């Protein structure tokens, strides 16, 4: 037990744990607010009573789904990088947290609360690509689990559990798709630079599955591209100062 605890301390610093928790809480709140108000955000709140009821329900759902989707994605990047001998840790961004919160108030989300920062001088393209690939793959696996649950628990599709399952596969397939966009510094740009065949195969599978479960996926992709370009523009220059 002492050995295991020692290894955990080596993997995580106290500040990193705090940063992950802050980012997770902000994302949970942002998703819950959007789901409670819909497009238009604060301008769409009709009655305070209905809003608070919906917010509490979606807050509990988001706490499960967002935590699984976000934290596991970032941790897999971290562990893969450490496997290759790199120093890796999650860091929040004050500017990114602010943008995440403010956009959610208006009914849409630019979720950029932080990222796993990796410091390595000896990564080759393959190693960098694998470290990048494990993030979207994690969301893809979580998507598969929630989608399977959807078919197993079909009679409960309108219940609380049904909403949780739907949000679970919806968020994770979108996260996988978003992170596979070939826009630096997203994971897809590094995978594409390493192996075009692997990138095309992964992107095609994720896109087809997203299209099958989300009919309006083309409109969502257009919005994600805009978000990715904004993220790329501010990466390391503004968001992570």
DSSP string, 142-173: HHHHHHHHHHHTGGGTTSHHHHHHHHHHHHHH
Q: Print the domain residue range for 113.
A: 2-234
CA distance 132 to 116: 11
DSSP letters spanning 5-72 = HHHHHHH--HHHHHHHHHHHHHHHHHHHHHHHH-TTGGGG---HHHHHHHHHHHHHHHHHHHIIIIIH
Which residue shows structure tokens 């966009």? 181
Query: Within a domain: residue 104?
Result: yes
Interior angle at CA 132, CA 126 and CA 134, nearest 5? 105
CA distance 142 to 144: 5
Name every residue whose Cβ is closer than 8 Å to that of residue 22 and which is 6 or more positions away in sequence: 92, 97, 113
Taking the chain (241 residues) in runs of 10, the rounded mean pLDDT of each run is 40 90 95 81 65 87 94 95 92 90 86 88 89 96 92 70 89 94 93 96 94 88 87 64 48
CA distance 217 to 12: 37
Query: Within a domain: residue 240?
Result: no
Q: Which of 10, 16, 74, 126 is catalytic?
A: 74
Query: Within a domain: residue 97?
Result: yes
Query: Within a domain: residue 158?
Result: yes
CB 31 within 8 A of CB 58: yes
Query: Within a domain: residue 239?
Result: no
Tokens at 225, concatenated: 């591209």
Task: Tell me the pTM.
Answer: 0.86
Query: Within a domain: residue 183?
Result: yes
Question: How many other C-beta atoms can be found within 10 angstroms of the C-beta atom of residue 139?
Answer: 26
Query: Within a domain: residue 161?
Result: yes
Please classify residue 165 by burial: count the beta carbons closer than 10 Å to its beta carbon, then call 0-12 exposed, 13-18 middle and 19+ buried.
buried
Tokens at 196, concatenated: 């075009």
Domains in the chain: how many in total? 1
Decide if 16 is catalytic. Answer: no
Tokens at 186, concatenated: 């997203």
Query: Within a domain: residue 241?
Result: no
């Amino acid at each position: 037990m002492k050995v295991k605890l020692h290894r955990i301390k080596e993997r995580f610093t106290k500040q990193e744990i705090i940063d992950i928790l802050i980012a997770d809480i902000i994302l949970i709140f942002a998703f819950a607010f959007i789901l409670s108000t819909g497009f238009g955000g604060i301008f769409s709140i009709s009655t305070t009573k209905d809003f608070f009821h919906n917010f509490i329900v979606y807050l509990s759902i988001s706490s499960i789904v967002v935590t699984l989707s976000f934290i596991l994605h970032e941790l897999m990047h971290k562990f893969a990088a450490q496997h290759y001998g790199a120093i890796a840790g999650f860091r929040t961004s004050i500017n990114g947290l602010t943008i995440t919160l403010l956009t959610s108030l208006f009914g849409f989300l630019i979720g950029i609360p932080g990222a796993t920062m990796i410091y390595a001088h000896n990564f080759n393209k393959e190693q960098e690509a694998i470290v990048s690939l494990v993030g979207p793959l994690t969301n893809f696996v979580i998507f598969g689990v929630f989608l399977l649950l959807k078919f197993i628990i079909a009679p409960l599709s309108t219940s609380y559990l049904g909403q949780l399952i739907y949000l679970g596969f919806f968020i994770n397939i979108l996260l996988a798709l978003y992170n596979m966009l070939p826009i630096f510094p997203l994971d897809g740009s590094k995978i594409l630079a390493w192996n075009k065949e692997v990138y095309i195969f992964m992107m095609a599978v994720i896109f087809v599955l997203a299209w099958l479960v989300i009919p309006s996926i083309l409109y969502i992709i257009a919005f994600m591209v805009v978000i990715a370009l904004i993220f790329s523009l501010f990466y390391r220059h503004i968001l992570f100062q």
